Structure 1
């Protein structure tokens, strides 16, 4: 894709717009929640719910937000084994300070997402359409990006064991702040920005993709 001198463009991420007063609410499937404060534990079913201007804290085994609409939401201090947001509509979501086993955003439509100071075992953005993502201070064991469409995404002070970008379409995706041990397919990194050192580390993967045999 064409680059400009300003490339990569920084993500345009703003804090969730939260009211001064929040009312405690009970989570339930297909709920319509506005200006609510939620405390989640055990297994919580919020599939197809609408959450607007809400805060969430969780010490839970599983939180299901499949197909949910999430607008101006802050999740802080979360401990969740499985957080499922498949096919969700997300606009201005911040998740910070916690531990998540599986964060499943596959198929989600995302506009402004911030992940900060988190430990995540498995982050799935497969087939997601995402614009404006900031990932900072995170440790993510595996990042799956197959068939994802990513625009204005930036990593800072973040590490990962394995990144799968196969079939990813990227524009202004800044990977310079991602310390990844391995990428499964260097050919799918078109549209990303890397440091010279990162490219050197990727040389064997790039060579293999081009059919080049490396021998000393």
Structure 2
């Protein structure tokens, strides 16, 4: 019988396909942008926009991409207090470096997303449907993913204080590279892969969930 680690399927993540030349563009709600470079500051409304083959630089208080479509987009070294991607559609998106206060991906539909070297205070994946996600060398204070559907997701060299996985539906989700201070609901980790050390840390929580009283 194959071991769980042998059965894991790694995420298939490729970098955004960006053209050699990008034109500067102005952000606007409902904008339709192709091969553009955006330099964002203050409060920006890009809700329900379409961004294809674009790069984003930002030192901003809030960037609203609610309901937007992002295809082949790179966000590099950004400093954003609130980045809202609620109910957005993402395909081949890379966020690398920088600092984000709140990254709201709740209800998003995600196909190929890479988070690399980002510091995030609050990452919300609640209700998201995500496939092929790679999270590497990130610091995430709070990671929420209640009712999320995650497929082929891997964490590597990433730290978080707290994870809320309640109602998570997971397939090929590799949490071995996630150093988590606490999981709020160990029962919801069905379908994920953990290291033996992580399982030892969760032993008392798992025992309590099936009615076992542990006393030393």
Aligned positions of 1:113-192 closer than 5 A? 113-192=113-192
Deviations 1:129-174 (A, max 9, x none): 0000000000000000100000000000000000000000000000
The DSSP-based 3-state class of the residue aligned with 2:130 is strand
Give the alignment's Cα RMSD to 1 decimal: 1.2
**Structure 2 partner of 1:82:** 82
**Structure 2 partner of 1:40:** 40
For 1:199 and 1:104, locate their aligned partners in 2 and report how far apart those are by CA, in whole Å: 29
For 1:152 and 1:31, locate their aligned partners in 2 and report how far apart those are by CA, in whole Å: 31
For 1:86 and 1:96, locate their aligned partners in 2 and report how far apart those are by CA, in whole Å: 19
Deviations 1:72-91 (A, max 9, x none): 00000100000000000000
> TM-score when scaled to structure 2?
0.98
Deviations 1:94-124 (A, max 9, x none): 0001000000000000000000001100000
**Corresponding pairs, count:** 215
**Structure 2 partner of 1:94:** 94
For structure 1, which runs of at least 5 residues remain unmatched after alignment?
none
For structure 2, which runs of at least 5 residues remain unmatched after alignment?
none
> TM-score when scaled to structure 1?
0.98
